[in-house]
Amino acid sequence: MSTPLIQTRQLTISFGAHKAVNNVSIEIEKDIFTTIIGPNGAGKTTLFNLISGLLRPTGGQVLFKGTDITHLSPLQRVALGMGRSFQLTNVFPALTVQENVRLALQAQARIGYRIFADHRKFRQLNEKTGLLLEQVLLQEKKNFLAASLTHGEQRKLELAMVLALDPEVLLLDEPTAGMALEEVPAMFELLDRTKKVTDKTIVLIEHKMDLVTGLSDQVIVLVNGSVLAQGSPPEVAANPAVLAAYLGGGVLSEACA
């Protein structure tokens, strides 16, 4: 088997006496769509914070393509190819949709505002912005202020901004959080499309497991900071510990039936 893109070894973080992530050892293989599920407070976001470098573990390691990156900053991890979205929307509301994406692209290219001095580069930037907006199906809203978008559209914009970083792996923390129910399927379709048309490896934290089982190759169940189960959606659905501890019987297995 090839070296996993991301690997954690006995990853642990304590907040006082509480171990929010406790001895977590997982592997994310390239091109394997992984979904992390678990009840509120299970440690899912904290695990992402440890993987993306926003938090330093009290124990254990994070590896990227086999290299220990535990000591690296979040920016250094982005430079290596990790992209991350947050549970709360992170767009600039007073900028237009295309300005938001353009800024993310400029950040990625480290070219800053000097880009405006060079018309050729500016055109390239606009083309890339257009492609990304097409990819997340927001091209018709490009001149709208981000603040005027629905919550679902803002999450799509946020996805475009993460894609602008051109990461190898996308860590997406509940991209449907706070969305109106009718907006949710479009977001999952978008993730499915992203999985199919790009070479990005996606790791998703999601509560709406019934909607993502079709997308997921691997499901990791976190409970109380520890991995309770890991496997394909049907394997996890059939796991008695999962049914007993998390789902209270049936929700996931119905979804996988």
Ligand X SMILES: Nc1ncnc2c1ncn2[C@@H]1O[C@H](COP(=O)(O)OP(=O)(O)OP(=O)(O)O)[C@@H](O)[C@H]1O
**Which residues make up the interface to Mg ion (CB under 5 A)?**
44-45, 87
Q: How far is the CB of 240 from ligand X (least distance, A)?
A: 22
| 41 contact choice in Mg ion, ligand X, none (CB below 5 to 8 Å, kind-dependent) | ligand X
Residue 87, CA atoms < 13 Å, CB-side half-sphere: 11
Task: Write out the binding residues for ligand X, residues 11-70 only, by CB under 6 A.
Answer: 15, 20, 38, 40-46
Q: How far is the CB of 42 from Mg ion (least distance, A)?
A: 8
- Complex with Mg ion: residue 70 or 87, whichever CB lies closer: 87
Q: How far apart are CA 3 and CA 205, in angstroms?
A: 23
Q: Tokens in use for 121?
A: 């580069």
Q: How far is the CB of 7 from ligand X (least distance, A)?
A: 20
CA distances in angstroms from 63 to 99, 134, 162, listed in the order given: 34, 33, 21
| 46 contact choice in Mg ion, ligand X, none (CB below 5 to 8 Å, kind-dependent) | ligand X
Task: Say whether 194 sits in a helix, a strand or coil.
Answer: helix
| 2 contact choice in Mg ion, ligand X, none (CB below 5 to 8 Å, kind-dependent) | none
Q: How far is the CB of 16 from ligand X (least distance, A)?
A: 7
Q: How many residues contact ligand X, by CB under 6 A?
A: 11
- Complex with Mg ion: residue 61 or 87, whichever CB lies closer: 87
Q: How far is the CB of 177 from Mg ion (least distance, A)?
A: 8
- Complex with Mg ion: residue 49 or 213, whichever CB lies closer: 49
Beta carbons within 8 Å of 174's beta carbon, 6+ residues apart: 87, 205, 206, 207
Q: How far is the CB of 112 from Mg ion (least distance, A)?
A: 32
What type of residue is 95? L
Q: Check binding of 116 to ligand X (CB under 6 A).
A: no
Q: How far apart are CA 21 and CA 23, in angstroms?
A: 7
- Complex with ligand X: residue 18 or 71, whichever CB lies closer: 18
Specify which residues 63 forms β-bridges with: 7, 68
CA distances in angstroms from 225 to 37, 80, 185, 248, listed in the order given: 12, 27, 29, 19
Task: Give me the helices (H) in the chain, please.
Answer: 44-52, 74-80, 97-109, 119-135, 151-164, 184-197, 209-212, 233-237, 240-242, 251-256
| 20 contact choice in Mg ion, ligand X, none (CB below 5 to 8 Å, kind-dependent) | ligand X
Build a one-symbol-per-residue string for 148-167: x at contacts with ligand X by CB under 6 A, - elsewhere.
--------------------
| 43 contact choice in Mg ion, ligand X, none (CB below 5 to 8 Å, kind-dependent) | ligand X
Q: What would the DSSP string read from start to end of 53-85?
A: TSS--SEEEEEETTEE-TT--HHHHHHHTEEE-
Output Rg (C-alpha) for the chain, integer angstroms: 19
- Complex with ligand X: residue 108 or 225, whichever CB lies closer: 225
Question: Which residues sit at the interface with ligand X, rule CB under 6 A?
Answer: 15, 20, 38, 40-46, 87
